[in-house]
Every structure is written in structure tokens, then in C-alpha cells.
Amino acid sequence: MWYFARAPCVNAAKNSKLLGLWNRPAAFMSTLLINQPQYTWLKDLGLREENEGVYNGSWGGQGEVITTYCPANNEPIARVRQASVADYEETIKKAREAWKVWADVSLEMGKILVEGVGEVQEYVDICDYAVGLSRMIGGPILPSERPGHALIEQWNPVGLVGIITAFNFPVAVYGWNNAIAMITGNVCLWKGAPTTSLVSVAVTKIIAKVLEDNKLPGAICSLTCGGADIGTAMAKDERVNLLSFTGSTQVGKQVAFMVQERFGRSLLELGGNNAIIAFEDADLSLVVPSALFAAVGTAGQRCTTARRLFLHENIHDDVVNRLKKAYAQIRVGNPWDSNVLYGPLHTKQSVSMFLGAVEEAKKEGGTVVYGGKVMDRPGNYVEPTIVTGLAHDASIAHTETFAPILYVFKFKTEEEVFAWNNEVKQGLSSSIFTKDLGRIFRWLGPKGSDCGIVNVNIPTSGAEIGGAFGGEKHTGGGRESGSDAWKQYMRRSTCTINYSKDLPLAQGIKFQ
């Protein structure tokens, strides 16, 4: 999906239609976190009190101004001027021009510090991976049925790749798309989440410097900060050859319809309702920390977060008790404290959704055995929550809530729990814990998990860059990052070459 390597907070934004960007009262500016001594490193990243949110070789922006806020205390960080429709048009034109050069070159979130550093490392890793991959991309030479002929698959860049990222991974998801798109010969236009606009600006400043140092057009990696108007323009624009969208299933459907209406190509990474299954023979020393990390990591705001935990009836009570003890030891605090494991939700709206989901779970027969409340401290902090007693097909359990709520269920047989894993509309990530080799391969097989990520004895979250990342069903079907995900960013041509002096036709047809 960039987090600052020392992320103070991922930005929660609030639209502003008050004063012009360059006419803010001095009193307001003095309250910005960027002006406080402990956050001077933000300026080291090239950020300012007011930031231009459009980059196409030069910085600008004539759109609406937003203020970004810290989820840990809801204090303002800085301001960003977003793109107008006119800015978008100009950026598209410059990106298309930059592609003519680049195609020939190659054939504010709130998460804890350790996760923020890890996300930046993920961008570094995918760049390293992509450099090696750039020397290996190619199509096969196939045998022809005709004498003196050869069949060749030729792969070429699609052209301009639009990238729309979500708030929860504003660095890594862009990195997955940007690095692979670039080494396959494409140029990129990025629209990050409005609530992480500072991240988008800071990352683009780094990229712009690299392009400048190598005497390449800055528009190769363009940026248009903005809201739904810019996203809609990208989805409907035939000049955007591929649109990669990461976000909710609801919005993803709208994006897919708009892109398909113009017969464009889309790469969708949407919702997940991920499950961990622990059988009677599972190693509980692996199950408990895995469920803890998968359910509580990033405060439950990953698309791969574990939201359902299926426990064999013989180990259910034991695992729940162990989890409650583990939850009680979670270190909560400021996200930039290196000892903290659990930070705030992204926005106040996220807190409201958390409370609504907890109440709905109670109405449907669930029991909150841990957490369920808002913490009494500044910022958007809620208690990590465990709910038991729901039916496996409870409506709330089939709804993805971007919050640290884990629904725990009992099961008896392998057949029923595999079916329960697959009964939700999403199909992103899944995991089982067992020592039974036959069960493992049944889980990986056609009657096992229907997800794009199918794990064994590890959590549902924490994917490596070497594998293709993505899911099935309402998760969208897209694949990013490693393996052969590069094919999503290219177009394929089948080429038949006649190197003989004859002209035989396929299928032995005679046309004389």
C-alpha cells in the first residue's frame, strides 16, 4: 500500500474550505505538530506547514486544502493542497509524455513504529526484487505446427498505470505497484488516501529526487492528492491503461464498473474477512501469538487482519483463556514509542464503527469476553476485543469491520470448518494450525480454502514480497508484488514469424 520510518501518526484528514493555503493565521500554524520540536524530523523529509499535493515534474496544486490529524491525539500535523480537475488533466498529459521516454529505458496512518519501519523496508525490498525481475521478464518461444515458423510471446508495457491506495498501507501498497509497474516500462499516477496525504507527498519527494538525479522526467512518477473526484476521473479516463485500486469492496465495485464501462483494465485489492482455524492437534504455542498478531496488529486495520478464529471444541476454552491473558499484556501507547505494540484507530469514525460492531455482536448473541470499550485516553484508542458465542453465519461475523474485533467459534469437524471459512463473500487470507499432513494438503487443494492466501501454521497477515498478493471473490481477484504479478502491468502479443520461403497455412488449409 508510505509510512514514515518514524511515523508519528498516520494522517487523519479534515476538509477545509476556510482560508486560502497561504493565508493561515499564525496562531493556527503554531499549533501544528510539524512546528513542535519533537517533530522537526518531518521537515527533514521535505514537509512544510503547507504542502503542495500535485507532482508531475514540478510541484503545485489548485484544489481543496485538507488538514491532516494524528490519530494518537487528534492534533493537526500539517496541511496539503490537493489536486483540482485541471491539475489532474495537466498531470495526465505530462505522464503520457514521460512514458515515451521511460518505455524505452527498460525491457499518516497511526501504526506503531516497528510496523511503520517495516512498511518502509517493504518498499525497499520490492525495489530490490523488481531490479532483479527486470532482467527476467519475457515470453516463451513456442513450437509451430508449420515448418519454418516460430511462435513468440511478446510482452510490452500497458502505458500509464493509475494507483489508488488506502490509508492503512500508504507506503507498501504504492511500492508494490510502483516498482513492478516501472520495471515493466510503465509510468505511474498515484492518488493516495486523503487522510495520508503527507505520506504521499513525502514519498514522492524522495522519488522525485531520484528521477532528477538520473535526468529522467519527473512525471514518470506523478502524484495527484485528492478525493473522490480525482479517483472517479482516473477510473473513467481511457488514458489510464491500468487502474490499481486498494480499498473497500463497496468502492471497489464502483471503480470496477467505471473502468469496465470503457473496457479498461483494473487490478483490485479489496476487503478481507480472514479466518484462522486451529485443530485439536495444533501447537498452541504457535496458535496464540499468531492469533494475537493477526487480530491486534495495526490495531486490526489490515486487509489481512484475522477477524474470525475457529477453534476445535476440545481446545476452545483453553485457547480463549490464553488469548485473554495475552491481550492483557499488550503494550498500548504512542505509536512512535518503540516499546508499544498497539496504537490508535485511524479516525474518530473508525471508533464509531468499532462501537457499532460490538453492540451488533451482542444483539446477535455474542459475549464480549475481553475489551469492547473506548480507552480513556486522548486519541482514537479502543480496547482490542474478543467475542465468543456467535453462530458461524452471524451477520456481523460476515461483515468486515476495520477494527481489532476477533470473533471466536467452536467447530467439530474438518468438513464443516472448511465450509465456514469459505462461506463469507471475501476471499483474501486464511490459515490453519495442524500437524496432520493429509489435512494440510486437503486445505491447499480444491476442496480447501478458496482464498488467495492459504497459510499453514502462520498468521493470516504478514505477507512476503516474493509471492503474489491478492484474493478471490469480493476481494477483487487482483495480484500484486511478486511471482508473476508483473503480467498484470503488461500486454501480451502472440507473434508468428515465418523464416522459410514457403507460406503454409495453419490447420493445413489450402487456399489456392
Q: Which amino acid is at 59?
A: W
What is the helix (H) or strand (E) element at residue 13, kind and residue range? strand 12-16
Cβ count within 10 A of residue 308: 23
Q: Which of 269, 383, 414, 480 is catalytic?
A: 269
| Total length of the chain | 512
Give Cβ neighbours of residue 72 (< 8 Å, ≥ 6 apart): 8, 9, 110, 334, 335, 343, 344, 378, 379, 380, 381
Q: Which DSSP symbol is given to 342? A: B
Grid cell locating 48: 512544510
Query: In terms of DSSP H, where are the helices of 77-213?
Result: 85-102, 113-133, 172-183, 197-213
Alpha carbon distance 254, 401 (integer Å): 20
Q: Tell me, yes or no, if 269 is annotated catalytic.
A: yes
Q: Which amino acid is at 296?
A: V
Q: Which DSSP symbol is given to 74? A: -
What is the helix (H) or strand (E) element at residue 293, kind and residue range? helix 284-296
Alpha carbon distance 395, 387 (integer Å): 14
Alpha carbon distance 19, 160 (integer Å): 35
Q: Is 291 exposed, middle or buried (0-12, 13-18, 19+ CB in 10 A)?
A: buried
* Cα separation of the two ends of the chain: 58
Alpha carbon distance 382, 347 (integer Å): 11
Active site residues: 269
